[in-house]
Structure 1
């Protein structure tokens, strides 16, 4: 059972995490691009809104902090608070976003509530599901990593070790909308003749109550009550594991969580099935070339054809479970959980080499050889470990972020809006791959393994793995540039939140490539 009784209070931990996340954003997106970051050992100093800040750091690109950040006031260093930093950011960026301070505060409040709830909650016995529920503090480079709209969310929060039965609806056949392989949903429970089973997230139904009243009253939908088993939410909040059918189900909440409104748009429902069909032969080749490569297909979706709002709002995407794709004796664990909750391996260099070998080459080859942009950030990759805890498999998931490179796939038979949502141009696709793989993922895992020590030896090993793969492909230009130390693209989460733009519109800022000192 999780217990924080002997440690800092939930409010204190939430304040520290909120401050650290926003300060990292300032280093990367505000002060850094303006040349206002410099090192004065043992500190990193930066200037925001003409105010000098300092903090001790380690972890290289992951930018982990030691001790409390400070600001200089009348020649004396004072403890920095998250609220003060918010004010400095607002001044620096022109004060044009009246929502920003509230979003940072809401994120901090959510962390406090989650940490308090975990004190008396029991994590799942399943090690995979337990790892899914470890991301209490959220994205380390996001200004409001746990911000979420709407109320009533805590009872459904994975970070609070929630579990709950799904609701089961019946959809009359004349208004049934579905594609792909959906038969597994019919195993969730008996439904009357003329209807098909449609699982629903309880929070989703609360949010759609007004729109559901009419179809429930006239019989186009029927409420069949609660499911027979407790479903377990995974790290993405709206995707749950349903043990009754051994599937993950991705629901449509239509709630903003961090950057994105989390819903299954109609074109994303169709796109998941289309991508699953196209990616099967790709992953067969990747698995043959890189043993241990796995993926979680999304073979079907089901909803109700009751107008766009309910088509999207009730839409559920079926996804394979990780246990169903791992070979016997292999335990899947969320990569993001390793970076925040697990003890570093006893033989860190050997473990790291195996980890990079499992994760990096198939991601790069998907892009270079197949024109497929995977999104291998820490929440989209599960690492399969053997009985000794050694990485032996990498499981890639979430087709919403997976794209096809324009010009390398025939999409002539795909509806225009669906095709648009499925594609990146070549440059944008490469930036996404490199950001997710190098900056979001490997940098965080390297910092976890190294602790307060340097990460140089780990990056030397990663460079060897990447160079070995590059040699098998004739050292294509993108890989040559990467190995030569070209700056890496880092997603600008603060900038996109400040501009209140869609996540797909997020830009990048250049950050130092840890392979540069090795070339």
Structure 2
């Protein structure tokens, strides 16, 4: 057997010193983690517009990719909506690879070396996360952070789903939500005159003429490189940089680390726009007859740098009534839910009705499984939706005006009247992300979407959803596009179609 890739061995060595009890579970989780990341990579290789893939040939025993250098890469027939690690190995000119980082290294494509290292970290971190996976009790969690702790695998389709470069094993154990830690945030005093504030900054985080900005301990150590005053305890949520204060709101902190696709900071513009966007979203949500709530931005502040800022948002649980649970859609795949085959169709119907209603009005939500939450009744029935984090929505002034909605002052980056851009944002995140991630495969997704779209009004947006290929982000193309910014897109076979895969 080949020796383990470097990232896997490094994590094993650190784990042996820090938490040896997890060592055997980590080793046992590695094959499944390799398959999970390799399956995500195979999805990208088979469906994204990679310039060095010149052809794709379907055969009885799988799919063969022709590469620009003449080599051939062979693997199983792909299901672009599958979330299980069904690809355990692929063959490159007769040599089998079960480790995605080694495959990417030997493909020898532009900018592939850095991506290969990320894939190795993704495998090792995913195995570590799975090793610490909490047992799944019959009782549903009582707190928001416990729901989010269940999402141990990260993004359901990104090959860098669990890559955390710059985080040691000790830091992953200390800050990763799947490990269940309590994180003590620091407080950094900054002169109020040097800060920009939106909304209402909490009074208890003011000290005379200074604001006390919450700072994540990783950010303090690695980016700010300074010690912060003792702050308060909070529980990390699945985005890592956002944490739940006990019995209180959520705080998003600056965390200038690359997680999956991008560096997670808080831009000055996003702070300045946060309160206005929050108020605007509330007015739009009011047009859904109570089917959608948006978590309000309570206050935000920046010290003039994306490396130092914070945003306070109300907890989604404020929109739950007695006996109800507010669950991130990403956590549904990890949870025992009603066995009724119509349950997922009910969720799809609710989500599509709300998402398409807002799209018709002029707002395309980025409704992936982290931003979109569902309010479940005591028996698990989907009742309402909650949406959080408005930073990357898209807004059409023309559509708003057509429906008599006042057009507020908006950040230029989120404004577009282009129907393709608007549909990409909603369809790619909601159907190709949130609902597909819960369904776990093409056939289950098709079975859920069919009843959900049957009674929708046949608007141009609905026709596009039902009849055109499904747009999704080309996540691997984006990671291999050195120096390029902005989203890149590809299409997947329409899950509502009877043919294709």
Same fold (TM over 0.5): yes
Q: Distance in 1 between matches of 2:322 and 2:394?
A: 30
> Which of 58, 67, 72 lines up with 1:51 in the alignment?
72
* 3-state secondary structure, aligned to 1:114: helix
Cα contact 1:298–1:399 (8 A) shared by 2: no
Other-structure match for 2:267: 265
CA apart distance, 1:402: 1.7
Which residue matches 1:353?
Answer: 345
Match of 1:428 among 418, 421, 426: 421
CA-CA distance at 1:477 after TM superposition:
1.7
1:235 aligns with 2:238: yes
1:480 aligns with 2:463: yes
Shift, 1:429, TM fit: 1.6
User: Are 2:436 and 1:443 equivalent residues in the alignment?
Assistant: yes
Say whether 1:251 aligns with 2:271: no
SS in 2 for 1:165: strand
Q: Calculate the aligned-residue CA RMSD, in Å.
A: 3.3
Is the CA contact (8 Å cut-off) linking 1:30 and 1:48 kept in structure 2? no
Q: SS where residue 37 of structure 2 aligns?
A: helix
Q: Please tell me whether residue 111 in structure 1 is matched to residue 123 in structure 2.
A: no
SS of match in other structure, 1:99: helix
Does the CA-based 8 Å contact 1:28-1:511 persist in structure 2? Answer: yes
Is residue 2:79 matched to residue 1:71? Answer: no
The CA distance in 1 between the partners of 2:492 and 2:265, in whole Å, is 32
* CA shift digits 1:146-177 (9 cap, x unpaired): 22332354121112222212223344343343
The 1:412/1:362 distance shift into structure 2, 3 A limit, reads closer
Aligned equivalents of 2:408, 2:75: Cα separation in 1:
56
Deviations 1:431-473 (A, max 9, x none): 111111221122222237x9xxx43xx6355233224222xxx
**Would you say 1:513 and 2:494 are equivalent positions?**
yes
1:399-410 maps to which residues of 2 (within 5 A)? 399-408=390-399
Secondary structure of residue in 2 paired with 1:62: coil
Mapped pair 1:294 → 2:293: yes
CA–CA separation in structure 2 for the residues paired with 1:278 and 1:412: 9
* CA-CA distance at 1:331 after TM superposition: 0.2
* Distance in structure 2 (CA, Å) of the matches to 1:226 and 1:145: 30
Q: Assess if the C-alpha contact under 8 Å between 1:353 and 1:465 holds in 2.
A: yes
Contact 1:354 1:392 in 2 (8 A): no
- Asked if 1 retains the 8 angstrom alpha-carbon contact of 2:328 and 2:374, the reply is yes
Secondary structure of the residue aligned to 1:517 is coil
Residues 39 and 128 of structure 1, relative CA distance in 2, 3 Å threshold? farther
* Residues 85/343 of structure 1: CA separation in 2 closer, same or farther (3 Å cut): farther
Deviations 1:397-422 (Å, cap 9, x if unpaired)?
111122212545699984xxx62233
Determine the C-alpha separation between the residues in 2 that align with 1:64 and 1:423.
Answer: 36
Q: Which structure 1 residue ranges, 5 or more long, are not aligned?
A: 214-222
Residue deviations 1:53-93, cap 9 Å, x none?
223666x633645462342765xx84633244213543xxx
- Note the C-alpha offset of 1:488: 1.1
Verify the 8 A CA contact 2:97 2:103 in the aligned structure 1.
Answer: no
Shift in CA distance, 176/268, structure 1 to aligned 2, threshold 3 Å: closer
- Paired residue for 1:469? 456
Q: Quick check: 1:156–1:164 contact (8 Å CA) kept in 2?
A: yes
TM-score, with length taken from structure 2: 0.83
For 1:216, the equivalent position in structure 2 comes to none
Within 5 Å, give how 1:48-447 maps onto structure 2: 49=67, 50-55=71-76, 61-62=81-82, 64-66=84-86, 68-71=88-91, 78=96, 80-87=98-105, 89-90=107-108, 94-118=109-133, 126-152=142-168, 153-154=171-172, 155-182=174-201, 185-187=202-204, 192-210=207-225, 224-227=229-232, 230-243=233-246, 246-286=248-288, 288=289, 291-304=290-303, 308-309=304-305, 312-339=306-333, 341-343=334-336, 345-349=338-342, 351-369=343-361, 371-408=362-399, 414=409, 419-426=411-418, 427-447=420-440
Quick one: distance in 1 between partners of 2:251 and 2:269? 17
Quick one: distance in 1 between partners of 2:97 and 2:113?
Answer: 25
Name the residue aligned to 1:219.
none
Alpha-carbon distance change, 195 to 124 in structure 1, aligned in 2, over 3 angstroms: farther
CA drift of 1:511 comes to 1.3
Structure 2 residues without counterparts, runs of 5 or longer: 1-20
What's the CA shift for 1:47?
2.0
Would the aligned equivalents of 2:316 and 2:386 in 1 still touch at CA under 8 Å? yes
Higher mean C-alpha displacement, 252-261 vs 424-433: 424-433
TM-score normalised over the length of structure 1? 0.80
What do residues 183-231 of structure 1 show as CA deviations (whole Å, max 9, x unaligned)?
Answer: xx2246xx64333443222222223434x68xxxxxxxxx54232xx30
1:100–1:387 distance in 2 versus 1, CA, 3 Å: same
Q: CA–CA distance in 1 between the matches of 2:45 and 2:219? A: 35
Check conservation: 2:223, 2:256, Cα contact below 8 A.
no
Structure 2 distance, partners of 1:131, 1:200, is 24
Distance 1:292 1:19, change over 3 A: same
Match of 1:178, SS state, is: strand
Q: Which residue of 2 aligns with 1:489?
A: 471
